[in-house]
Amino acid sequence: MPVRETDLPNVGRKYELDLATGGRLSVVIGHDGTRTLYRQPEGGGDAERVAELTGEEARQFGAVLGGAYFQPAESETADVPVGDARIEWFDVDADSPLAGNSVGDSAIRAETGATLLAIQRGADTIANPGAGEVIEAGDVLVTLGTREEQRELAQRVNKDSDA
C-alpha cells in the first residue's frame, strides 16, 4: 500500500493512502503545521473532513497508530515483515536493573541482540534514543529483535520476569 505524496502550492503537502477496506485516507500537512485528515468513500465521491490536528496532536496520535501505546495480544502469532524480528514493549519497573542507567551503559544490543527503537516516557516518545539517554522507572522500551533476543531482553529489563 504505497503512500502517494503531492505538493500543494501555498498550502503544504498531501499524503494519500488507498485503504484495504475501500476508499482513501488523506492528510494535508499545512505550512502552518496543522494536519487535516480526510476520508474519501470507495468509488470516488467527495472527501469528508474527519479531523484537524496540531503538530503535537498528530505526533502523539501517530505514536498510537504506530503501536507505541498498545501491543495487541495477537502479536505472538502475527507475521512481522522484518524476517524473524518482532517489535516488543517492555515496562521498566523501579527495581529493574536498567532503571537509572544510560542506554549505552545498559548495552541492550550488545548483550541481547535486540535493538532499542524508542523509549515511551509518559506522553513523550524518544525515538532512536542516544547512548546518553537515561532509562527511567516507568519508561516503556520499544524494541526490535527475534523472539529469543526479546526473551533475553525481558530477563534483563525485569529480573523477576518469567519471559
| pLDDT tens profile 112-134 | 999 999 999 988 899 999 999 99
pTM over 0.75: no
- For residue 12, being part of any structural domain is answered with yes
pLDDT at 121: 92
Give me the mean pLDDT over the 151-161 stretch: 80
* Amino acid found at 57: E
Residues 78 and 49 in one domain: no
Residues 47 and 81 in one domain: no
Burial group, residue 136, by CB count within 10 angstroms (0-12, 13-18, 19+): middle
Residues 138 and 79 in one domain: yes
Residues 86 and 32 in one domain: no
- For residue 41, being part of any structural domain is answered with yes
Residue span of the structural domain in which 142 resides? 73-157
Residues 44 and 92 in one domain: no
Alpha-carbon span 100 to 89, nearest angstrom: 18
Residues 46 and 120 in one domain: no
- For residue 22, being part of any structural domain is answered with yes
Residues 153 and 92 in one domain: yes
Report the mean per-residue pLDDT for the chain: 85
Alpha-carbon span 111 to 118, nearest angstrom: 18
- For residue 68, being part of any structural domain is answered with no
- For residue 61, being part of any structural domain is answered with no
